[in-house]
Amino acid sequence: MSDFKLWMSQTQASMEDVLAQLLPAAHHVPSRLHDAMRYAVLDGGKRVRPLLVFAAGELVNADVACMQRAAAAVEMIHAYSLVHDDMPPMDNDSLRRGKPTVHVKYDEATALLVGDALQALAFEVLAGAPLQGRPQELVQMLQLLARAAGSQGMCGGQGIDLYGVGQAYTLPQLEMMHILKTGALIRASVLLGAGCGDALSDAQRQQLDHFAKCMGLAFQVVDDVLDEEADTATLGKTAGKDAANHKPTYVSLLGLKGAKEKAAELLAEARAALAPFGERGQRLQQLADYIVDRRH
Amino acid sequence: MSDFKLWMSQTQASMEDVLAQLLPAAHHVPSRLHDAMRYAVLDGGKRVRPLLVFAAGELVNADVACMQRAAAAVEMIHAYSLVHDDMPPMDNDSLRRGKPTVHVKYDEATALLVGDALQALAFEVLAGAPLQGRPQELVQMLQLLARAAGSQGMCGGQGIDLYGVGQAYTLPQLEMMHILKTGALIRASVLLGAGCGDALSDAQRQQLDHFAKCMGLAFQVVDDVLDEEADTATLGKTAGKDAANHKPTYVSLLGLKGAKEKAAELLAEARAALAPFGERGQRLQQLADYIVDRRH
């Protein structure tokens, strides 16, 4: 196993422990809600956002306990958004990560509450990050996460997506949607990881921010390519759904070849943005390569 | 107009301005989402939670701009919970504050996103509170709000409520549900207001916390009494709904007279808890009286 693969599987395994500890125990009242919250978060996903937090932390000698909380917070925001997104008024999906979605396994009211409670828990968890000496930075990190999650971040992107079904998008409109819907939280993951260690210069922060923006878009372009190419079993969620719903995708706008070229361009731009960090940026670069080359 | 009534109407009016400024403009993309967020929050409600923030602030010479943000944050959490609570999987209510509920006026997907985005905005707004000199206190306030909103606070109470439909509750079970569902955010309002000024001693903080807990319960007892006595027009929401759903209420457990006595006892206990604050506690005491004596 390569050094990167080993790092990835160790980080994923340790995140599972961290999330299991930070989530309320399933026997705690109301137990159906807590059981469903654990179901929604644990044992699923590639933990791309936590991986970004930890890889970005390597740029700045970040504190491990701080990164764990930052990573758990972004993963909880991500998990809540999937639970709500899967519900009947939104995507009405019955399969997620190869398992029944929360509203199918439990019920719609529980799915609604699971999402709401996970969002609150994300902020509670991040607010408990051990940055005792630098509370002002922690406040800024909380504000960053809130903005990334809200109507001018992830929720805003979901709104644009929702109101765009059946509409003809231009490429800039599609990018704007994804910069918010997926990109905002990807960007927050990178910046929160970097917030857990030594301070960056303004120039470094801008470079890192540019890296994060490129990766946020690349991630979505690759998602669209995989959705076009993969079958449902490999993907663990319903494949070809966006096309069936006449939702615009990078593949529908650029073609399969064009979308793959776009992903490669974004990756090159992201790698270039990391160059000034030298060796310390290696993990983040490996992760970027992995995100663009992944098969599901 | 009494001094209290004047204070109340001025505070309510200024809160309307504050909320209107903090919410994203309706023309900002995605405009349907932002329009619906403003519809959910503005021009409605008695603003009990903001009033509690400002009244508690009088105990500690609180900073006005800080109280405004704290008050807006709790009101946004409250407003989001109403939007989600009204949706078909939960209470399936079509009327709120005399107007169509968000999912009726817009659509269910928008209602889902409105709630999600308002919760994120609440934390963003509070994180921007001007407590530059005391960021550690601000982190604690953010943590307090997150806990009050989450599965061991408001969402937890909603879960207990949800899973309790049709069940026979004992009085302690009903109290536990309301301490979480309504009480947690009422308590947070009082403590956030007190967090915007001079530090309290531990003893004072405990007294204030006890006041807040009594008021949280009293508020719900009065709600149940009003729900039993009032008609839909006065209440601005569908009356008698809990009884029709066989949900346990203070009135169903204690009778109308018993519930009124319970409210009076809780008010007396709340007033006693304020006594050590002397004159500075006057506004909070007037507000407590008002909450218990209100007619809708």
Three-state SS letters, chain B: CCHHHHHHHHHHHHHHHHHHHHCCCCCCCCHHHHHHHHHHHCCCCCCHHHHHHHHHHCCCCCCHHHHHHHHHHHHHHHHHHHHHHCCCCCCCCCEECCEECHHHHCCHHHHHHHHHHHHHHHHHHHHCCCCCCCHHHHHHHHHHHHHHHCCCCHHHHHHHHHHCCCCCCCHHHHHHHHHHHHHHHHHHHHHHHHHCCCCCCHHHHHHHHHHHHHHHHHHHHHHHHHHHHCCHHHHCCCCCHHHHCCCCCHHHHHHHHHHHHHHHHHHHHHHHHHHHHHHHHHHHHHHHHHHHHCCC
Q: Does A112 touch chain B (CB under 8 A)?
A: yes
Closest Cα of chain A to B282: distance in Å? 33
Cα distance between residue B144 and residue B276, in whole Å: 24
Cα distance between residue A271 and residue A279, in whole Å: 12
CB spacing of B116 vs A81 below 8 angstroms? yes
Chain A 141-160, residues with CB within 8 Å of chain B CB atoms: 142-143, 145-147, 149-153, 155-156, 158-160
Average pLDDT in chain A: 91
**Pairwise pLDDT comparison (B164 vs A199), residue with the higher score:** A199
* Mean pLDDT of all residues in A16-22: 98
Q: Is the pLDDT of residue A232 over 60?
A: no
Task: Tell me which architecture the domain covering A3-293 has in CATH.
Answer: Orthogonal Bundle (1.10)
**Which pLDDT does position B237 carry in this prediction?**
58
CB spacing of B117 vs A24 below 8 angstroms? no
Q: Does A162 touch chain B (CB under 8 A)?
A: yes
**Which pLDDT does position B45 carry in this prediction?**
84
Of B109, B145, B151, the CB nearest to A121: B151
- What percent of chain A has a predicted confidence (pLDDT) above 70? 93
Average pLDDT in chain B: 91
pLDDT tens for each residue of B261-285: 999 999 999 999 999 999 999 999 9
**Which pLDDT does position B23 carry in this prediction?**
98
Q: Is the pLDDT of residue A201 over 90?
A: yes
**Which pLDDT does position A140 carry in this prediction?**
95
Residue in the structure block whose two tokens are 């009204």: B86
Q: Is the pLDDT of residue A113 over 70?
A: yes
**Which pLDDT does position A296 carry in this prediction?**
61
Confidence band for B227, pLDDT divided at 50, 70 and 90: confident
**Which pLDDT does position B118 carry in this prediction?**
98
Q: Is the pLDDT of residue B46 over 70?
A: yes
pLDDT tens for each residue of B157-208: 999 988 876 677 788 888 888 889 999 999 999 999 999 999 999 999 999 9
Residues of B whose CB is below 8 A from A38 = none
Closest Cα of chain B to A244: distance in Å? 19
Determine the length of chain B: 296
Residues of A whose CB is below 8 A from B128 = 143
Cα distance between residue A168 and residue A90, in whole Å: 19
What CATH number has the domain spanning B3-291?
1.10.600.10
Confidence band for A97, pLDDT divided at 50, 70 and 90: confident
CB spacing of A112 vs B160 below 8 angstroms? no
Chain A 55-84, residues with CB within 8 Å of chain B CB atoms: 80-81, 84
Q: Does A30 touch chain B (CB under 8 A)?
A: yes
Closest Cα of chain B to A178: distance in Å? 13
**Which pLDDT does position B222 carry in this prediction?**
92
What residues does each domain of chain A span? 3-293
With 0-12 CB in 10 A as exposed, 13-18 as middle and 19+ as buried, what is B271?
middle
